[in-house]
Amino acid sequence: MIVFEPAKIELPTYTFKTAPIETKELTTSWDVKFEHANGTIFNRKMDQLIDFSTLDDDELTTFSGTVTYTTQFENAGNLKYVILGEVNEAVSELTINGKSAGMRWYGIHCYDVSELLKEGTNTLEIKMTTTLANYCRSLTDNPTAKNWTGRYKTPFPSGLESVVLAE
């Protein structure tokens, strides 16, 4: 697949450091908004990020749509990157303190947030759009959906599983 952008984009230059960068998994509670492909909207509070397909909750195991995770965290002034762990084939958008850090739809979902973070409390919002697979699996009366998802014997992994902060 070749993607043409409407304007010239400055690509980041990556260098390898001799010393490893400091990373820390963000462990916090999350306000999570679910906007289902079927039009329903519901909210949850989550103490940890998890693959929805592993839960014993039909509302989440059959979810397909947009999930918005929101939390706050403290920055001592040294953080530069937010790295999303397993995103399970989702498209992600990251916002820090109301300002966009960008969107990723393939590869490593790593965002340079050095210009967006402030010292002290910061608000982090991650918007993820999942695949339709799990919702379509639940449409047992729809022959097209049943045919399309017939090869999925178990729910497709879905949801964000970790967030890492890095210097």
pLDDT digits (tens, 9 = 90+) for 9-54: 555 555 555 455 788 899 999 999 999 999 999 999 999 999 999 9
Please determine, for residue 79, whether its predicted confidence score (pLDDT) is greater than 60.
yes
* Residue 118 located in a structural domain: yes
* The model's pTM: 0.84
Token pair in block for residue 1 = 């697949």
Token pair in block for residue 47 = 């103490």
Please determine, for residue 64, whether its predicted confidence score (pLDDT) is greater than 70.
yes
Percent of the chain whose pLDDT exceeds 90: 63
Alpha-carbon distance of 123 to 73, in angstroms, equals 7
11 Cβ contact partners less than 8 Å away, ≥ 6 residues apart: none
pLDDT score for 111: 95
163 band by pLDDT with thresholds 50, 70 and 90: very high
* Residue 75 located in a structural domain: yes
Q: For the segment 80-111, what is each residue's pLDDT rounded down to a tens digit?
A: 999 999 999 899 999 999 999 999 998 899 99
* Residue 15 located in a structural domain: no
* Residue 1 located in a structural domain: no
* Residue 8 located in a structural domain: no
Q: How many domains does the chain have?
A: 1
Q: Please provide residue 133's backbone torsions phi and psi, each rounded to the nearest 5 degrees.
A: -55, -50
Cα–Cα–Cα angle for 90, 49, 68, rounded to 5 degrees: 55
pLDDT score for 23: 87
* Residue 11 located in a structural domain: no
* Residue 89 located in a structural domain: yes
Instruction: Report the DSSP beta bridge partners of residue 31.
Output: 45, 70
* Residue 161 located in a structural domain: yes
Domain extent for 73: 23-166
User: Where residue 105 sits, what CATH number does that domain have?
Assistant: 2.60.120.260
